[in-house]
Chain A
Amino acid sequence: MARFILTRLGQTLVTLALLTILIFVLARLTGDPTPLVLPSEATEADRAFFREQYGLDRPIHEQYVVFLRNVLHGDFGISFRYREPAFNLVLMAIGPTLQLAGVSMLVAVMLGLPLGIAAALRPGSWLAAAVRAYASFGQAVPTFWSGLMLIFLFAITLPLLPSSGYGEVENFVLPAVTLGFYASASVTMLTWANMTEALRSDFVQMERVLGIPRRLIVLKHALRNASLPIVTYLGLQFGLLLGGAVVTERVFAWPGVGQMLVDAILNRDYPVVQAAVMLTAVLVMTINLAVDLLYAVLDPRVSRS
């Protein structure tokens, strides 16, 4: 067991090291930030000074060493665009993103869990068919499309909710529904599959024979059995939402990491690109690691295979 944990930790560290290279190269591949940072009146000397100031004139491997050393000290450099520490900018944006991902997850569970359970309880019924249609529709609708439709309906046609912005409770509704709807599709399918399996299990069958009320069986036993894979999946899904919210954040002008990263890439703002990708990736990897370890604890076979 300890060996498994150590191996997984080691693997994660190696992956992180690889990530730094990938991110560093990716950021630099995007092109020269100078014309985006300086006005067209800037002289060649101004441009040269800018490159020198940020060390962009040095050979790429030297730049990487500097980058890595600074990152190990928690320093991601100064944003070209905002002239503030990139890490602070990202920290400012991670809050809104985590909140949105959390609330969306909640929406996804509130929609997906009951639907999945209902479909599992009545296989072959019209309800199951409707749930299947719902899930396959949810997975197929691009979030920018559903987001726009929601704005069109609930912010413009019926002015009930704010169309964009951040800070108030109302601001959460449309983006969280957009993202939650998308995530609910897979939560539904997963709940459905696991509930079906749990209901078929000998244990539940026996309880049924013993005449325990159906509602109690479903809620207490079947759901409990089905919940482990669902919870695991939610953990992974949460990681996906962190990065997958880019488009939703754009549509709703949500000041999160996704939108910051899109802007940073388009602005060739290397330090922000590096800090934002790194932080997101570390979050995702931490969640994955936690899920793996949790699984290993709960199911010892995993660590042995």
Chain B
Amino acid sequence: MSATAEERPAGAGGLLGARLWRSGAGRPPLLATAICLLMVVAALGGGAIAPYVPDEADFTAILVPPAWAEGGSLAHLLGTDQLGRDMLSRLIAGARISLLTAGAAVLAGGTIGVTLGLAAGYLGGVVEAVIMRIVDAFLALPFILMALAFVAALGTGVGNIILVMVLTNWARYARLVRSEVVSIKKRDFVLLARVAGLRPWQIALRHILPNALTSILVLAVLDVGRAIILESSLSFLGVGIQPPDVSWGLALAEGRTYMTVAWWLTVWPGLAIVLAVMSFNALGDWMKAGFDPRGRL
């Protein structure tokens, strides 16, 4: 065991940041990190931070412009929407749903994909052939179309949207992990572990997974941005998140018809999506520069 420890790079966890720093990825993108953190705070804080109940209609304050614009009021800093709901509160509530769906989709899709990829890569043979052909089949379907069909089949709602996103993204993880495993498998420390009599699943979990973890993490962070866009695209097509839940994509889709009369209905959620996706991508790129300088991802 001690022989393998040296060859195996330190795992993820607490040392991640330090490793990144040293590896030459440079300074972490401060603004992006701040925005990501802000999103997480908004998602966790939710109701406590929001000035209003996000889905409470107020028919006396419909389409109030942002505070600084003509006709705006300080009561609604970013204005109100077509049912008199406070935009700021809806953005905060939207952060929760957008992050929840994206996060859950990435986590669950990642877990499934990693497990299957690990199995395929390590076990090889028939298992690998079957799993990889299924992966190919899923990857050959354009993901938004697959999502659309699944939504039509399963119905809308946050749970189903997450499920749909999981179904559309697990295959990428499986493919990535399998290729990582295939290359790691041949390395000396894994061979040694096998000689030392460790069971296959122990080898896979203790030795192979930690080595593949960095690539998985990078893919996951980049995937959050992709998931946010997928969710908003589904909402745009009318089959994503549905009221009374609030998401940025939904707010954008519902405010879209009002684009010429009330720009703030589309600009704020659009901005939120762009900023969030850019931040997660920047974070992912930074990690990638550290872990994966040759751009295998």
Contacts and interface: CB of A to CB of B under 8 A. Distances in A.
Interface of A: 11-12, 14-15, 18-19, 22-23, 26-27, 29-31, 136-137, 139-145, 148, 152, 156, 193, 240, 242-244, 246-247, 250, 258, 261-262, 265-266, 268, 273, 277, 280-281, 284-285, 288
Given A137-B278, A140-B281, A265 B229 contact: no
Nearest to B182: A305
A139 B152 contact: no
B143 A15 contact: no
B152 A246 contact: no
Interface residues on B, range: 35 or more
A261 B145 contact: yes
A244 B144 contact: yes
Contact of A14 (B133, B144, B148, B295): B133
B136 to A, nearest CB: 4
Interface stretch (B88-96, B102-110, B111-119, B230-238): B230-238
Contact of A26 (B133, B149, B232, B233): B149
B278 A140 contact: yes
B153 A144 contact: no
Contacts of B153: 26, 29-31
B158 interface: no
15 contacts: A14-B129, A15-B136, A15-B140, A18-B136, A27-B149, A29-B154, A136-B285, A142-B249, A145-B252, A148-B259, A261-B145, A261-B148, A266-B152, A280-B141, A285-B136
B186 to A, nearest CB: 10
A277 B152 contact: no
Interface of B: 129, 132-134, 136-138, 140-146, 148-150, 152-154, 225, 229, 232-233, 236-237, 239, 249, 252, 256, 259-260, 266, 270, 273-275, 277-278, 281-282, 285, 295
A170 B128 CA distance: 49
Contacts of B237: 246-247, 250, 262
Contact of B143 (A26, A142, A243, A266): A243
Contacts of B152: 29-31, 265-266, 268
A12 B136 CA distance: 8
A15 B145 contact: no
Nearest to A280: B142
A9 B117 CA distance: 22
A223 to B, nearest CB: 18
Contacts of A145: 252, 266, 270, 273-274
Nearest to B280: A140
Contact of A242 (B142, B150, B260): B142
Contacts of A27: 149
B259 A136 contact: no
Most B C-beta atoms less than 10 A away, residue of A137, A261, A265, A273: A265
A18 B137 contact: yes
Given A141-B274, A284-B140, A262 B148 contact: yes
Given A15-B140, A262-B237, A137 B274 contact: yes
Contacts of A137: 274, 278
A148 B256 contact: yes
A250 B236 CA distance: 10
A228 to B, nearest CB: 14
A240 B295 CA distance: 20
A139 B277 contact: yes
Contacts of B134: 18
A265 B149 contact: yes
Nearest to B274: A140
B126 to A, nearest CB: 12
A152 B267 CA distance: 13
A57 B132 CA distance: 34
B276 to A, nearest CB: 8
Contacts of B225: 139-140
Given A140-B277, A142-B232, A284 B142 contact: yes
A265 B164 CA distance: 15
Contact of B233 (A140, A247, A285): A247
Nearest to A22: B137
A23 B129 CA distance: 20
Contact of B278 (A29, A136, A265): A136
Contacts of B295: 193
A226 to B, nearest CB: 12
Nearest to A156: B260
A22 B133 contact: no
Given A145-B252, A193-B295, A265-B152, A246 B142 contact: yes
Given A15-B140, A22-B141, A281-B140, A142 B236 contact: yes
Contacts of A148: 256, 259, 266
A115 B277 CA distance: 22
Given A31-B153, A145-B270, A265-B152, A258 B137 contact: no
Contacts of A242: 142
